[in-house]
Amino acid sequence: MLIGADDPRIRERGHDKLKTLGALSAATRQDVHHWIEQLIAQECLSRTGEFPTLTVTPKGWRVIRGEEKPRLPLPSGQRVSRSRIAVDSWEGVDQELFEKLRALRRQIADEEQVPAFVVLSDATLRDMARRRPSTWVNLLSVTGIGERKRADYGERFLASITAHCRTHSIPTDVTPPNRPRPPAPILGIHPVSRDDATNLAFELFDRGGTLDDVAVAIGRSRKRTSLYLTKYLAARGRSTPEPWLDDDTFARIRAAAQNGIEWLKPIFESLGGTVDYDLIRIGVACLRNQTEAGTEVKNPAAR
């Protein structure tokens, strides 16, 4: 409705009579989706229900009244094309299963009284709906699932996945031919200012926002967002990297960093290139905090 699409459902529901029809006709569907995700991340909108419905939050009403202003990337003035990376992030995803997993995540978040993305990120749910793991072991192949997330939530998500696959007679334990890159800001959009991006990133990290989700919210690349996270870890004095790095990977980084943490490349090479620089940077920031606090664990097996 916002982009003025010719959709029969708009006419059936009488929405073609609303003055907001086509209010964002200069933008693409992906642009609008991108902005909505940012408004959710900034708690101006909330997503509720089994079939997600957007609701304006108290903060959102303050925005509407002009009392607050959200921090959103703005269109560049020319029509923005959809990013290839944004398309790739949905490649191979069973979208019906994704919605079921998102409903389950919301249920768990409500039980634990935390924001949904603290439980699992959208990127993790997409990869789960893409791989459809059915075993305890294969669940660890999903982006963002470490030992702790698996222990906390694995049983419930595996049950949902296997039930869906059984109902629809589709295979489980799928290995994607090429692992999609994480979502990135839409091309052609100006990001928020540096100060606003730093403040927003710190707010989202305080609430447990994942690297990929925060990158989208602040309009920065994953690499740039990992630098914000490194600054955040230093500012907060965090010595443990969860939820941004699982225990096993952190233990491997610590073992590879026995000869020093001044340079990332020797650690990367010691790990055989199996852990990317963004994750190494996060692990090293926490190791540096441990060293400064005098709590560094020399033997990874002794953690």
For position 161, what pLDDT does the model report? Answer: 95
Residue 11 identity (one-letter amino acid) = R
Assess whether pLDDT exceeds 50 at residue 87: no
Split at pLDDT 50, 70, 90, the class of 51 is: low
Contacts of 65 (CB under 8 A, 6+ apart): none
Assess whether pLDDT exceeds 60 at residue 82: no
Instruction: Return the bridge partners of 47, or none.
Output: 54
70-79 pLDDT per residue, tens:
777 654 443 4
Which DSSP symbol is given to 47?
E
Assess whether pLDDT exceeds 70 at residue 6: no
Q: Say if CB 115 and CB 217 are below 8 A apart.
A: no
Assess whether pLDDT exceeds 80 at residue 10: no
In 3D space, the residue among 70, 290, 80 whose CA is nearest the CA of residue 190 turns out to be 80
Angle at 154 between CA 103 and CA 228, to 5 degrees: 80
User: Mean pLDDT, the chain, as a whole number?
Assistant: 77
Assess whether pLDDT exceeds 70 at residue 300: no
For position 203, what pLDDT does the model report? Answer: 82
In 3D space, the residue among 207, 95, 96, 211 whose CA is nearest the CA of residue 143 turns out to be 211
- Who has greater pLDDT, 65 or 135? 135
Split at pLDDT 50, 70, 90, the class of 185 is: very low
The structure's pTM equals: 0.40
157, two tokens: 């998500």
Q: Say if CB 246 and CB 215 are below 8 A apart.
A: no
Half-sphere exposure of 113 (CA within 13 A, CB side): 0
Domains of the chain: 8-79 (no CATH), 90-168 (1.10.150.80), 192-302 (1.10.10)
Assess whether pLDDT exceeds 80 at residue 27: no
For position 164, what pLDDT does the model report? Answer: 95
For position 186, what pLDDT does the model report? Answer: 38
Sign for the pseudo-dihedral over CA of 265, 271, 276, 279: negative
Q: Say if CB 216 and CB 182 are below 8 A apart.
A: no
Among 110-119, 168-177, 275-284, the least confident range: 110-119
Taking residues 272-284, report their average pLDDT: 86
Split at pLDDT 50, 70, 90, the class of 246 is: confident
d(CA 86, CA 98): 16
